[in-house]
Amino acid sequence: MGWQDKMAALDADRAGGARIQYGALCWRTAGSGAGIDVLLITSRDTGRWIIPKGWPMPGLAPEAAAAQEAWEEAGVQGLVNPICLGRYGYQKCLAPEAQIPCAVAVFGLQVTNLADSFPEVTQRRRQWFPASTASAMVKEPDLGRLIGRFVPPPSGRLAPIAGE
Protein backbone atom coordinates (compact mmCIF):
# COMPACT_ATOMS: atom_id res chain seq x y z
CA MET A 1 0.00 0.00 0.00
CA GLY A 2 1.50 3.33 -1.11
CA TRP A 3 1.43 6.51 0.99
CA GLN A 4 -1.50 7.92 -1.01
CA ASP A 5 -3.53 4.77 -0.28
CA LYS A 6 -2.62 4.97 3.40
CA MET A 7 -3.67 8.64 3.48
CA ALA A 8 -6.97 7.79 1.80
CA ALA A 9 -7.62 5.06 4.38
CA LEU A 10 -6.76 7.46 7.20
CA ASP A 11 -9.01 10.12 5.67
CA ALA A 12 -11.87 7.58 5.51
CA ASP A 13 -11.37 6.78 9.19
CA ARG A 14 -11.38 10.49 10.06
CA ALA A 15 -14.51 11.00 7.95
CA GLY A 16 -16.46 8.62 10.19
CA GLY A 17 -16.71 5.83 7.61
CA ALA A 18 -17.74 8.14 4.78
CA ARG A 19 -15.99 7.70 1.44
CA ILE A 20 -13.40 10.43 0.89
CA GLN A 21 -13.33 12.61 -2.21
CA TYR A 22 -11.16 15.56 -3.21
CA GLY A 23 -12.61 18.79 -4.57
CA ALA A 24 -11.30 22.00 -6.09
CA LEU A 25 -12.56 25.46 -5.19
CA CYS A 26 -11.68 27.13 -8.51
CA TRP A 27 -11.23 30.89 -8.17
CA ARG A 28 -9.95 34.03 -9.87
CA THR A 29 -9.66 37.69 -8.92
CA ALA A 30 -12.97 39.36 -9.71
CA GLY A 31 -13.07 41.47 -12.87
CA SER A 32 -13.89 44.55 -10.81
CA GLY A 33 -10.79 43.93 -8.68
CA ALA A 34 -12.98 43.60 -5.60
CA GLY A 35 -13.04 40.11 -4.16
CA ILE A 36 -12.98 36.84 -6.07
CA ASP A 37 -15.13 34.88 -8.47
CA VAL A 38 -15.74 31.15 -8.00
CA LEU A 39 -16.29 28.72 -10.86
CA LEU A 40 -19.21 26.35 -10.33
CA ILE A 41 -20.19 23.45 -12.56
CA THR A 42 -23.40 21.49 -12.86
CA SER A 43 -23.73 17.93 -11.67
CA ARG A 44 -24.37 15.38 -14.40
CA ASP A 45 -27.48 13.90 -12.81
CA THR A 46 -29.52 16.76 -11.31
CA GLY A 47 -27.92 19.85 -12.85
CA ARG A 48 -27.37 21.47 -9.43
CA TRP A 49 -24.36 23.76 -8.92
CA ILE A 50 -21.29 22.05 -7.41
CA ILE A 51 -17.50 22.24 -7.40
CA PRO A 52 -15.34 19.74 -9.33
CA LYS A 53 -14.66 16.70 -7.15
CA GLY A 54 -13.92 13.00 -7.35
CA TRP A 55 -12.36 9.90 -5.86
CA PRO A 56 -8.70 9.53 -4.81
CA MET A 57 -6.40 8.59 -7.69
CA PRO A 58 -3.53 6.15 -7.27
CA GLY A 59 -0.19 7.95 -7.43
CA LEU A 60 -1.65 11.45 -6.96
CA ALA A 61 -1.56 13.56 -3.81
CA PRO A 62 -5.00 14.78 -2.67
CA GLU A 63 -4.57 18.30 -4.10
CA ALA A 64 -3.31 16.87 -7.41
CA ALA A 65 -6.39 14.61 -7.60
CA ALA A 66 -8.60 17.67 -7.00
CA ALA A 67 -6.77 19.54 -9.79
CA GLN A 68 -7.20 16.56 -12.13
CA GLU A 69 -10.95 16.52 -11.42
CA ALA A 70 -11.09 20.27 -12.12
CA TRP A 71 -9.50 19.61 -15.52
CA GLU A 72 -11.76 16.68 -16.42
CA GLU A 73 -15.02 18.26 -15.22
CA ALA A 74 -14.46 21.96 -15.97
CA GLY A 75 -11.42 22.36 -18.25
CA VAL A 76 -9.57 24.25 -15.51
CA GLN A 77 -5.82 24.78 -15.54
CA GLY A 78 -4.04 26.69 -12.82
CA LEU A 79 -2.24 26.55 -9.50
CA VAL A 80 -3.50 24.38 -6.66
CA ASN A 81 -2.75 25.03 -3.00
CA PRO A 82 -1.68 21.87 -1.13
CA ILE A 83 -3.34 23.02 2.11
CA CYS A 84 -6.87 21.70 2.62
CA LEU A 85 -9.41 24.52 3.07
CA GLY A 86 -11.85 22.28 4.92
CA ARG A 87 -14.36 19.52 4.31
CA TYR A 88 -18.03 19.12 3.59
CA GLY A 89 -20.29 16.10 3.46
CA TYR A 90 -23.01 14.98 1.09
CA GLN A 91 -24.92 11.88 0.07
CA LYS A 92 -23.78 10.53 -3.32
CA CYS A 93 -26.66 8.95 -5.22
CA LEU A 94 -25.59 5.76 -6.96
CA ALA A 95 -29.19 4.85 -7.88
CA PRO A 96 -32.59 6.21 -6.81
CA GLU A 97 -32.55 3.92 -3.74
CA ALA A 98 -28.78 3.72 -3.14
CA GLN A 99 -26.72 6.48 -1.54
CA ILE A 100 -23.34 6.57 0.18
CA PRO A 101 -22.04 9.25 2.54
CA CYS A 102 -19.04 11.17 1.19
CA ALA A 103 -16.66 13.62 2.84
CA VAL A 104 -14.98 16.02 0.41
CA ALA A 105 -11.61 17.60 1.27
CA VAL A 106 -11.46 20.92 -0.63
CA PHE A 107 -8.34 22.57 -2.07
CA GLY A 108 -8.12 26.08 -3.55
CA LEU A 109 -7.17 26.26 -7.22
CA GLN A 110 -6.31 29.62 -8.79
CA VAL A 111 -7.51 29.39 -12.39
CA THR A 112 -5.07 30.58 -15.04
CA ASN A 113 -6.81 29.09 -18.08
CA LEU A 114 -10.17 27.59 -19.07
CA ALA A 115 -9.99 25.17 -21.99
CA ASP A 116 -12.72 25.07 -24.61
CA SER A 117 -12.32 21.31 -24.97
CA PHE A 118 -12.06 18.95 -21.97
CA PRO A 119 -13.29 15.44 -21.12
CA GLU A 120 -16.76 16.34 -19.72
CA VAL A 121 -17.51 19.41 -21.85
CA THR A 122 -20.77 17.91 -23.19
CA GLN A 123 -21.96 16.73 -19.77
CA ARG A 124 -21.72 19.89 -17.66
CA ARG A 125 -22.16 23.64 -17.67
CA ARG A 126 -19.69 25.96 -15.96
CA GLN A 127 -20.12 29.55 -14.84
CA TRP A 128 -18.27 32.18 -12.81
CA PHE A 129 -20.07 33.74 -9.82
CA PRO A 130 -19.04 36.25 -7.16
CA ALA A 131 -18.04 34.23 -4.08
CA SER A 132 -21.05 35.46 -2.09
CA THR A 133 -23.42 34.33 -4.86
CA ALA A 134 -21.65 30.98 -5.32
CA SER A 135 -21.84 30.25 -1.60
CA ALA A 136 -25.63 30.63 -1.74
CA MET A 137 -26.04 28.56 -4.92
CA VAL A 138 -24.56 25.28 -3.69
CA LYS A 139 -26.88 22.86 -1.91
CA GLU A 140 -24.44 21.71 0.78
CA PRO A 141 -24.35 24.23 3.70
CA ASP A 142 -20.78 23.37 4.72
CA LEU A 143 -19.55 23.90 1.16
CA GLY A 144 -21.39 27.23 1.08
CA ARG A 145 -19.58 28.28 4.26
CA LEU A 146 -16.20 27.22 2.81
CA ILE A 147 -16.82 29.31 -0.30
CA GLY A 148 -18.15 32.27 1.71
CA ARG A 149 -15.14 32.46 4.00
CA PHE A 150 -12.46 31.66 1.40
CA VAL A 151 -9.57 34.13 1.24
CA PRO A 152 -6.93 33.62 -1.47
CA PRO A 153 -3.57 32.60 0.01
CA PRO A 154 -0.59 34.91 -0.08
CA SER A 155 1.65 34.25 -3.06
CA GLY A 156 4.26 31.63 -2.53
CA ARG A 157 1.87 29.04 -1.08
CA LEU A 158 0.60 27.74 -4.39
CA ALA A 159 1.81 24.46 -5.89
CA PRO A 160 1.75 23.89 -9.67
CA ILE A 161 -0.52 21.21 -11.05
CA ALA A 162 1.39 18.20 -12.33
CA GLY A 163 2.23 18.58 -16.00
CA GLU A 164 2.34 22.37 -16.06
Statement: 3-152 belongs to CATH 3.90.79.10: yes
Mean pLDDT calculated for residue range 37-42 = 98
Residue 31: what pLDDT? 75
**Which sequence spans correspond to the domains of the chain?**
3-152
Contact between 50 and 126 (Cβ < 8 Å): no
- pTM here is 0.84
Whole-angstrom distance, CA of residue 12 vs CA of residue 36: 31
Q: For 2-11, 23-32, 52-61, 129-138, which range has the lowest pLDDT when averaged over its residues?
A: 2-11
Kindly give, in sequence order, each residue whose CB lies less than 8 Å from that of residue 96, ignoring residues fewer than 6 positions away: none
